[in-house]
Amino acid sequence: MKIAFSKIAIPAQGAVILPVGDGGRLGPAAGALDKRTGGALSRAMKVADFRGKREKTLTIVVPAGTKLSRVVLVGVGDAKSVDGMAAERLGAVMFDAAAGDAGVAIVLDLFDGIAAGAVAAHIAGGLLQKSYRFAKYRTKEDESGKPKLKDVDIQTGAAAEAKRMFIAVSAVVDGIFFTRDLVSEPANVIYPASFAARARELAKDGIKVEVLGEAQMKKLGMGSLLGVGQGSERESQLLVMRWDGAGKSGGAPLAVVGKGVCFDTGGISLKTPPGMWDMKWDMAGAGIVAGLMRTLARRKAKVNVVGLCGLVENMPDGRAQRPGDVVTSMSGQTIEVQNTDAEGRLVLADVVWYAQERFKPSAVVDLATLTGAIIQTFNDHYAGLFANDDDLAQRLGAAGKTVGERLWRMPMGDEYDRELKSLIADMKNIGSGKGGSITAAQFIQRFIRKGTAWAHLDIAGVVWNEKGTVLSAPGATGFGVRLLNQFVADNYEK
């Protein structure tokens, strides 16, 4: 899709989108069109009882006295209160309303003087996010149902400002698309080595990419991660991506760690068939980390961030690890693997430890589709937030609120940690089965050093959506890229 920003001038032909404020308020250009058409817009609003409520739409086809194909009225509610997130949502609504046309002019004549540039840039961002389709494996598709929109002309009184702000917005969109591509791919296409190969493309954005194989991880003592990948024909990989946008003076980096289980069968503790296919997206945490790196690099963020992904495939096999096996993690702590399906924490244990050892980060944030229990808790409305640091938790929660990717803090404590006691090793990898998201978080915390600020996001409920969300078609949502980008912008770039 091609996006242009230009000054306000309703075209004579084609499709036009016009924002409508509370009570059916039209901007000056829309008002003039209404006059020219003998009140076609205001009469249509009246008949349809359309009052400009935010995200409501009303389409008027071939309005008399014009050569326009259609005018889509999009309610924006109180125009003054349209912030970046609201504008992105409006952009997505506009995409859906205009997807049937090849081109559309979006005439933002209601936002003069009120962050008009930002509103225009974020509307563009929302349009793009909603336009994403993962269609590469469709060999036949009904042309009539396919979105046709190619050219979008966003008209605003602040076109120069919009263009400038769109640089950062489109960097975020690029990151989200990179994430969605990785998450959508099936596991015969994206496995540890091919994930790492795709991440190497980030070198073109200025990211330093390193990939460690099994021999190197063995030397480092990563018995916990390696145990998970032991039953797979695919070699496990540790992916390290560095963006040093703040240089030496920027100090210790923020470490962002992703669970990258490219397929989770459960291993010998095999899952049941229904829904097993969706364990192809058990690498979404890693996908988000890779997408975030692209975003930070493309908008040249003045921050040092290291992204680390533990990439494995969890398979049942003659060589697979068995329930009850004891492995030794890089930290030296031993783990009794009572359930091979609780594998994400085993992967993260070694990766967060490695991150702390090597990079001495200012904070560690991990993202993982870690537990089914978090879906029982929040459905797809919130990701679970766990942290050993109130300040870090607050900042993440605030960033999530800003971009509409909501987090809810969960409790932690000794009473949960105790459940990880093992008869023969330092810990086991499952608790009682109750409060499972919390015992999973407690497990990871055992690999966080005293004094390291750490937060864990359990994203199992929010990275894939069968129905689609406001900003994404059914499938991969890209949740987390906007959130962490906002978190970085708010806290590390001042």
Query: Known catalytic residues?
Result: 271, 345
SS3 content of the chain, % helix, strand, coil (to 5): 40, 25, 35
Residue 394 CB contacts under 8 Å (≥ 6 apart), including other chains: none
Measure the CA dihedral 455/456/459/461, to 10°.
-100
Restricted to residues 235-264, the positions that interact with Mn ion (CB under 5 A) are 264
The Cα 267–Cα 231 span in angstroms is 8
Q: Least distance in Å: CB of 396 to Zn ion?
A: 22
Tell me, residue by residue from 267 to 296, as one string, x for binding to ligand BES by CB under 6 A and - for no binding: ---------------x--------------
In whole angstroms, how far apart are CA 122 and each of 84, 102, 316, 471, 475?
6, 21, 46, 12, 22
Strands 67-77 vs 13-21: parallel, antiparallel or unpaired: parallel
Does position 221 interact with ligand BES (CB under 6 A)? The reply is no
Tell me how far, at minimum, the Cβ of 52 lies from ligand BES, in Å: 39
Q: Which residues between 319 and 358 bind ligand BES (CB under 6 A)?
A: 339, 341-344
Binding of residue 420 to ligand BES (CB under 6 A): no
CB of 341 to Zn ion, least distance (A): 7
- Is 105 within 8 Å of 17 (Cβ atoms)? yes
Nearest position to ligand BES, beta carbon = 372
x/- contact string, 247-266, with ligand BES (CB under 6 A)? -----------------x--
With beta carbons less than 8 A apart as the criterion, state whether 123 and 108 touch: yes
When CB distances are held under 5 to 8 angstroms depending on the partner's kind, the choice from Mn ion, Zn ion, ligand BES, none that residue 339 binds is: ligand BES
73 binds, among Mn ion, ligand BES, Zn ion, none (CB under 5 to 8 A by kind): none
Q: How far is the CB of 315 from ligand BES (least distance, A)?
A: 13
Residues of span 263-282 touching Mn ion by CB under 5 A: 264
Indicate which single residue of 76, 107, 171, 373 sits in contact with ligand BES (rule: CB under 6 A).
373
CA 395 to chain centre: 17
Check residue 480 for interaction with ligand BES (CB under 6 A).
no
Residue type, 296: L
CA torsion sign for 355, 360, 361, 366 is positive
Total interface residues for ligand BES by CB under 6 A? 15
Distance between the two ends of the chain, CA-based, in angstroms? 33
* Torsion sign over Cα 52, 54, 60, 65: positive
Query: What residues numbered 256-285 form the site for Zn ion, per CB under 5 A?
Result: 261, 264, 282
Residue nearest to Zn ion (CB): 264
CA triple 457-441-379, angle to 5 deg: 50
Residue nearest to Mn ion (CB): 341
Number of amino acids touching Mn ion (CB under 5 A)? 3
User: Angle, to 10 degrees, between the axis of helix 116-131 and the axis of helix 84-98?
Assistant: 50
User: Taking CB under 5 A as the criterion, which residues in 335-364 touch Zn ion?
Assistant: 344
Q: What residues line the site for Zn ion (CB under 5 A)?
A: 261, 264, 282, 344
Contact positions toward ligand BES, by CB under 6 A?
A: 264, 282, 339, 341-344, 369-373, 430, 436, 460
Binding site for Mn ion (CB under 5 A): 264, 341, 343
